[in-house]
Structure 1
Amino acid sequence: MQTSDKSEPEVVCWRDGALDGACLATARYGDHKFDRHLHDELVIVMTESGAGQCHTRAGSDVAGPGSVLVFGPGEYHSGEVWEGREWIYRAIYLDMEGLGALSAVFSPESRADSPLLIPPGLYQDPHLAGLLVKAHASLDEQRAVSLLERQANWWGAMGMLVGRYGESAQSYGEARREAHKMAQVREYLEANYERDISVDELAELVGLSRYYLTRAFCKEFGLPPHAYATQVRLLAAKRLLATGHNAASAAAAVGFYDQSHLNRLFKRAYGITPGKYAAMKPGH
């Protein structure tokens, strides 16, 4: 998928049939700010030139060439192009199928409900970044690279990533206070995002006070329940737009007040309008 106006961000997304659960993207942004948002995949970003400053609940990092930036599924983040220049990067989006495929190859003892994860953060690792960029470039839909070479590059890069930084989701999550109850709240929001849910309803669900629930949810996921619900609506709207819905019908389906509300939040989060996103060429 690609935008054509050079004054606008250039974003290309595609899938490679040789890979399980992975979406690939290249992007070029000029002077741009990303509003707080989240993804439902593990996101791995390798900067080719320029830099981007990213903000998470853990702090702020500047991702430049030679770095690997990782966002966990459901982890809110925001950011901007560093010093208003230009940020060109390649990204990998791994859904649960993709994480399960990594686990099956590199950690077969992992449970199906606790696949490998790469802890979120900025990794200054030029060797790994170079391998990931090489693997990503060989999967470019415009290049004629053999299936064998594409897969060899992919698994070589993933093997180094997992070997250096991977750990099981189970061990990563066990130390988190109130993780089980907060996961219940998150799952409830994801299942009922189109409704206007009250904090009282969520507090009753897990047997906590409204104040404690809001504080614990912010600590766990980096934003309050109502803001998380907005991000889930944005993700649902993206899926609808990708399958042919227009912005007005997507806004109504996911619970936004109107199309202008969706337009404003979508542009601030993803850098393009819902209309431009819907008009993109479907990936393959």
Structure 2
Amino acid sequence: MKTSREIANYHRVDELGGLEVLSARYEQQTFSRHTHAGYTLGVIDQGAQRFLRNGANHIAPQDSIILVNHDEVHDGHSASEGGWSYKAIYPLPEQLQLIRSEAGLSDTGSLYFREPVVHDPELAGLLRQALHSLQHSANRLERETLLYGALLKLMQRHGKERRALEEPAAARNRIELVRNFLHDQPAADISLQELANLAGINSCHLVRQFQRYYGLPPHAYQIQLRVRLAQRLIRSGHRLMDAALDAGFTDQSHLNRHFKKTLGVTPGQYARQQSH
């Protein structure tokens, strides 16, 4: 009987003020709908991945580039027999903004990648080379040169500017109050009614509007923020049980379930990788 062989390694580097690099091979992994604080920029090494973005499913075959904007809801699973392998980084908006500013690119709007999958063999090669260098090269000049060059070309070729939507400020501000509260206190045990009271609207309206703006209902959005908090706590050396409880999960198994479906590794695996 053939056993599944799944490998995922998260490696943190110093470039751009701190950046997480993922090298992974999956066969049976299924990512639930989730978000990242940063952009997801990845290149498929082998196989193919199917993922949801913008309400539609997309397939990224070998040598294609995956582009998911920050805080954009997506999922992921195999689209080929035998699974898929890929490398990815998750730069924050301000990290890409730094490169845009230094390169003299227009920065009046937020950076937005319109296409979920792009077929650009030259750029895929540059991105793969940069990610390999981040994981294996000890030469800082080489690492930074390759990374900055690949990201700049990616933004020039496939990035657009997206200006803020024109809509009544008061309506958006009410929902932003809820979002800001969840970001400030992701571990807080708060009810939907309490959040609705904070926004000054009824519960049903809050759920509809929150999902419209952010792609997830409030409880699912809170789970994503708790996973991110648990990541930070684990990186800073917290015990897994303490990280789970401090992040608002009921116990370690509760954290394990959501962590694996979001990041593709267990909290224990992630903790061991931080010590390398």
Aligned residue for 1:124?
Answer: 119
Name the TM-score, length of structure 1 as normaliser: 0.84
Aligned residue for 1:189?
Answer: 182
- Whether contact under 8 Å (1:42, 1:93) holds in the other structure is yes
Give the Å deviation of 1:149: 3.5
Range that drifts further, 202-211 or 255-264: 202-211
Match for 1:208: what amino acid?
Answer: I
Describe the superposition over 1:216-249 as per-residue Cα deviations: whole angstroms up to 9, x where unpaired: 1112222110111111111111111122222211
**1:94 aligns to 2:91 (yes or no):** yes
Q: Distance in 2 between matches of 1:107 and 1:197?
A: 44
Report percent identity of matched pairs.
34
Q: Secondary structure at the match of 2:90?
A: strand
Give the Å deviation of 1:61: 0.8
Give the Å deviation of 1:253: 0.5
Aligned residue for 1:42?
Answer: 39
Q: Secondary structure at the match of 1:160?
A: helix
Q: Distance in 2 between matches of 1:166 and 1:193?
A: 31
Q: Distance in 2 between matches of 1:180 and 1:125?
A: 39
Q: Secondary structure at the match of 2:80?
A: helix
149, 161, 167: which is aligned to 2:154?
161
**1:143 aligns to 2:99 (yes or no):** no
Describe the superposition over 1:87-115 as per-residue Cα deviations: whole angstroms up to 9, x where unpaired: 1111011024412312322346536xx65
Give the Å deviation of 1:180: 4.3
Aligned residue for 1:66?
Answer: 63
Give the aligned length. 272
Q: Secondary structure at the match of 2:189?
A: coil
Give the Å deviation of 1:120: 6.5
Q: Distance in 1 between matches of 2:234 and 2:212?
A: 32
Aligned residue for 1:3?
Answer: none
Describe the superposition over 1:116-149 as per-residue Cα deviations: whole angstroms up to 9, x where unpaired: 3434622233332222112222333x235x4444
- Whether contact under 8 Å (2:193, 2:203) holds in the other structure is yes
| Uncovered stretches (5+) of structure 1, i.e. residues with no partner | 1-5
Q: Distance in 2 between matches of 1:271 and 1:195?
A: 25
Q: Distance in 2 between matches of 1:19 and 1:161?
A: 16
Q: Secondary structure at the match of 1:218?
A: helix
Q: Distance in 2 between matches of 1:259 and 1:15?
A: 24
Match for 1:62: what amino acid?
Answer: I
- Whether contact under 8 Å (1:31, 1:84) holds in the other structure is no
- Whether contact under 8 Å (1:72, 1:120) holds in the other structure is no
Describe the superposition over 1:36-88 as per-residue Cα deviations: whole angstroms up to 9, x where unpaired: 22211111011111111112342111111232212222222222122352211
Match for 1:255: what amino acid?
Answer: G
238, 248, 251: which is aligned to 1:255?
248
**1:29 aligns to 2:20 (yes or no):** no
Range that drifts further, 83-92 or 180-189: 180-189
263, 267, 270: which is aligned to 1:277?
270
Structure 1's 252 and 20: CA in aligned 2 closer, same or farther, altered over 3 A? closer
Range that drifts further, 226-235 or 191-200: 191-200
153, 158, 165: which is aligned to 1:174?
165
Give the Å deviation of 1:204: 2.7
| Uncovered stretches (5+) of structure 2, i.e. residues with no partner | none
Match for 1:198: what amino acid?
Answer: S
Q: Distance in 1 between matches of 2:187 and 2:239?
A: 17
Name the TM-score, length of structure 2 as normaliser: 0.86
Match for 1:138: what amino acid?
Answer: S
Aligned residue for 2:128?
Answer: 133
- Whether contact under 8 Å (1:103, 1:116) holds in the other structure is no
- Whether contact under 8 Å (1:13, 1:24) holds in the other structure is yes
Structure 1's 180 and 165: CA in aligned 2 closer, same or farther, altered over 3 A? farther
Match for 1:262: what amino acid?
Answer: L
Aligned residue for 1:85?
Answer: 82
Structure 1's 122 and 261: CA in aligned 2 closer, same or farther, altered over 3 A? same
